[in-house]
Amino acid sequence: MTESVVGSGGELVLFWIIGPLMVVAALALLFARKPVHAAVGLIFVMIGMAFLYTALEAPFLGVAQVVVYTGAIMILFVFVLMLVGVDAADSVAETIKGQRWIAVALGAGLVAVLAGVVLTANLPPAAGLEEANTMTNPVGVAYEIFGSTVFALELVGVLLITAALGAITLTHKERLSAIRDQKATVRLRQRAYARGEGSQVLTPAPAPGVYALHNAADVPALDPEGNPIDISVPRVLRIRGQELAPADVDGHVAQIASGTFVQPVAPPVTDVRESHENEGGER
């Protein structure tokens, strides 16, 4: 191990602060249950990376790292996460037999090999970049990019355009059939019901309870007997386990659920005909 002449004590301190934090944040990828948490961990790692680039006399790359990775790529990830939503696939239960142990063993093996290589490598003393960065680092890098590797730059440009076109093509959806109106939708639903497929409820799903005291999309509706109807709560909330039981809700919802609710005197019906029509429609 050869000590580099380059680098200051400050850099060492920076490294020892940021490095472990980056490792911990990266571990979120492995252990976070929710993809968004993992994404946040990764964003932290990337910003830390930008710090390290700067410390390594590569301020241009540090900026590019923030702009490209944190600003574009990770935002894209989060967007897609939002688009796709959460799913059972997020569960950490392993489906392939032994995969987790294989992964651990291979990870350990990889660490061993990389450590072996790094520890036995005969590293030369660092030359430092003062000379290369005399015209400031971005200018030096620009000379390099637009000088000796300009053809590669052209190719990368083509690649980016192709990738953009590819993404558009992949996500673009041709409309192959006429737009289904409400009537057609209901008819399809009834046919599916007749075949024994699809939902076993013909009516629209009941709305979740919307009561005062609470933005209560997470509180299930109650049936006439006061029992909660699960399907009234949006699927995502149910998957995430954010559904509330009626008993958890303050006020008369809990009273209804527990059967202690006393019906207040109903206000007089102002429009009898309308309510009759409603009853007829129900039938």
Partner 1 sequence: MIDLAWLVVAIPLASSALLLLLGRRSDAWGHLFATAAAVAAFVVGLLVVGEVLGQSPEERINDVHLFSWIPAGELSIDAGLRVDPLSLTFVMLITFVGSLIHVYSIGYMTHDPARRRFFAYLNLFVAAMLVLVLADSYALLFVGWEGVGLASYLLIGFWNYNTEYAVAAKKAFVMNRVGDMGLIVAMGLMFASLGTVSFSGVDAAANGLSTPMATAIGLLLLLGACGKSAQFPLQAWLGDAMAGPTPVSALIHAATMVTAGVYLIVRADSIFSAAPTAQLVTACVGAFTLLLGAAIACGKDDIKKSLAGSTMSQIGYMVLAAGLGPIGYAYAIFHLVTHGFFKAGLFLGAGSVMHANGDSTDMRTYGGLRKVMLVTWATFAVCWLAIIGVPPFAGFYSKDKIIETAFVGEGWQPWVFGGAALVGAAVTAFYMSRMFFMTFHGKARWVDEASKLGADDPRPRRHPHESPLVMTLPVVVLAIGAVSLGFLLSLGDGITGWLEPVTGHAEHHEPVLPVPVIITATLVLVAAGVALAWRQYGMNSVPLTAPTGSALTRAARRDFFADDVNEALAMRPGQHLTRTLVYADTAVLDGAVTGAAAGTVASGRVLRKLQNGYVRSYAAMILAGVVIAGAVLHLVRL
Partner 2 sequence: MSLMHYLVLSGILFTIGAVTVLVRRNAILAFMGVELMLNSCNLALVAFSRVHGTLTGQVMAFYVMVVAAAEVVVGLAIIVSIYRARRTVSVDEPSLLRN
Which listed residue (4, 99, 136, 199) binds partner 1 by CB under 8 A? 99
Q: Which stretch binds partner 2 (CB under 8 A): 15-23, 183-191, 249-257, 260-268?
A: 15-23
Q: Segment 165-194, which members bind partner 2 (CB under 8 A)?
A: 166-168, 170-171, 173
E strand segments, the chain = 221-222, 228-229
Q: Does 163 bind partner 2 (CB under 8 A)?
A: yes
Candidates 148-156, 193-201, 214-222, 232-240; binding stretch for partner 2 (CB under 8 A): 148-156
Give the Cβ contact number of residue 57 at 10 Å. Answer: 18
Q: Is 106 in the site for partner 1 (CB under 8 A)?
A: yes
> What distances in angstroms separate CA 76 from CA 30, 164, 189, 199, 256, one per listed residue?
20, 13, 36, 34, 45
Select the binding partner of residue 179 from partner 1, partner 2, none (C-beta < 5 to 8 A, by kind).
Answer: none
* Residue with token string 């239960």: 93
Shortest Cβ 128–partner 2 spacing (Å)? 6
Binding segment toward partner 2, per CB under 8 A, in 33-41, 179-187, 253-261, 273-281: 33-41
The reply on whether position 75 binds partner 2 by CB under 8 A is no
Of 113, 159, 165, 205, the one binding partner 1 by CB under 8 A: 113
Q: Is 117 in the site for partner 1 (CB under 8 A)?
A: yes
120 interacts with partner 1 by CB under 8 A: yes
Q: Is 102 in the site for partner 2 (CB under 8 A)?
A: yes
CA distances from 18 to 21, 53, 58 (A): 5, 12, 17
88 interacts with partner 1 by CB under 8 A: no
Task: Considering the complex, state which of residue 119 and residue 272 has its C-beta at the smaller distance from partner 1.
Answer: 119
Cα(18)–Cα(52) distance, rounded to whole angstroms? 8
- 208 and 229 in contact (C-beta within 8 Å)? no
Give the helix/strand (H/E) hosting 23.
Answer: helix 9-31
Which one of 97, 120, 122, 131 is in contact with partner 2 (CB under 8 A)?
131
Let me know: does 233 contact 208? Beta carbons within 8 Å.
yes
CB of 99 to partner 1, least distance (A): 6
CA distance 6 to 13: 14
Q: Is 30 one of the binding residues for partner 2 (CB under 8 A)?
A: yes
Between the alpha carbon of residue 227 and those of residues 54, 206, 222, 242, 261, the distances in Å are 61, 13, 5, 18, 14
